[in-house]
Amino acid sequence: GSIMKSIRIEQGESFTVKFIHSVEKAPIFEFFYVDHKGRIILKEVKFKKIGVGYGRYLPTLYPSEQRNGWYYMSNINVPVTLAYRVGYVANHTLVIRGRDYSFSEFVPPGDLLKIVCARD
């Protein structure tokens, strides 16, 4: 596909993808960083409702806890490929360096958006 937007991110730098779950209508925050090999690493997920799909993994795969009304899956630290079907309700948003970028700025709802790391 074509490049819709390019945002420079350095190794070790973090970013977040936040959205509203389409069924539960509850917020989800996915926290990532770029490792020394230029891979996107999922570090942690924060969500309000256990039914959002992450809940089934809480007891077995990743350390988890509940704080201040939020569930956290922490210390995940696995490389991921990021591809999101941009939702009509979800309002997918990339947060980097304190700035929000709505996915719908790049592609219309219903389209696929991929986030990749590219070397210069």
Residue 77 is predicted with a pLDDT of 92
In-domain check, residue 5? no
* Residue 107 structural domain: 14-115
Number of domains into which the chain is organized: 1
Which pLDDT tens digit goes with each residue over 29-77? 999 999 999 999 999 999 887 665 555 554 456 657 888 989 888 888 9
Which pLDDT tens digit goes with each residue over 99-115? 999 999 888 888 998 98
Residue with tokens 């690493």: 41
Tell if the pTM clears 0.95, that is, is over it. no
Residue 71 is predicted with a pLDDT of 86
Cβ-based neighbour number of residue 39 at 10 Å? 15
In-domain check, residue 87? yes
In-domain check, residue 57? yes
Distance CA(102)–CA(104), nearest Å, equals 5
Residue 73 is predicted with a pLDDT of 86
Residue 31 is predicted with a pLDDT of 97
Secondary structure (3-state) at 65: strand
